[in-house]
Amino acid sequence: SERLLVSGKKDREDLSWKSAIQKIDRAKMFNPLSADVRAELGSLYQTLYHVSAKSNYLKLAEREYKDALRLDSYNSARYLQLGEFFFTERKSPGKAASYYRKASTLDPYNPIPHVRLSNIYSLLGEFDKARKEESEGNRLNSLWNRIMKP
């Protein structure tokens, strides 16, 4: 399963779409409980939507992302991924915000969900909430920068 996933990712990088789908789909068949495989397949379908503009790829991407979340519901990255998907692809800032809020609950030291929420609240005209989230994102980012300094 892992070899198929790695090989499928390589095919994706090489723009060998059909081969990438086949390999990652086979990895899913061998390991149906792998959230990583589901997320990778979702990402591939999302890319194919942009390349082909076929809406069925967007539906497939959403299904795979949601399956990844169902299989790995304590991983904040899954919520971030769905937040990005709903914000950029589905143009649904409210739904995206709910995923970002859950991501920030699961990973309270990650600045990314706060930055994304700040952007959404600004877009929605909720400027007090936007400033609060921006401030928290900046605080956490500063904390990370201090920790990661060599």
DSSP string of 76-106? HHHHHHHHHHHHHTS--HHHHHHHHHHHHHH
Global confidence as pTM: 0.86
Identify the residue with better confidence: 89 or 2: 89
Query: Residue 45 has which token pair?
Result: 């379908």
Among 14-18, 58-62, 72-76, 112-116, name the one with the lowest average pLDDT. 14-18
Looking at residue 133, what is its pLDDT?
Answer: 95
When pLDDT is cut at 50, 70 and 90, the band that residue 15 belongs to is: confident
Question: What is the distance between the alpha carbons of residues 93 and 120, in angstroms, rounded to a whole number?
Answer: 6
Query: Residue 87 has which token pair?
Result: 């914000």
Question: What is the distance between the alpha carbons of residues 79 and 99, in angstroms, rounded to a whole number?
Answer: 5
How confident is the model over 80-106, as pLDDT tens digits? 999 999 999 999 999 999 999 999 999
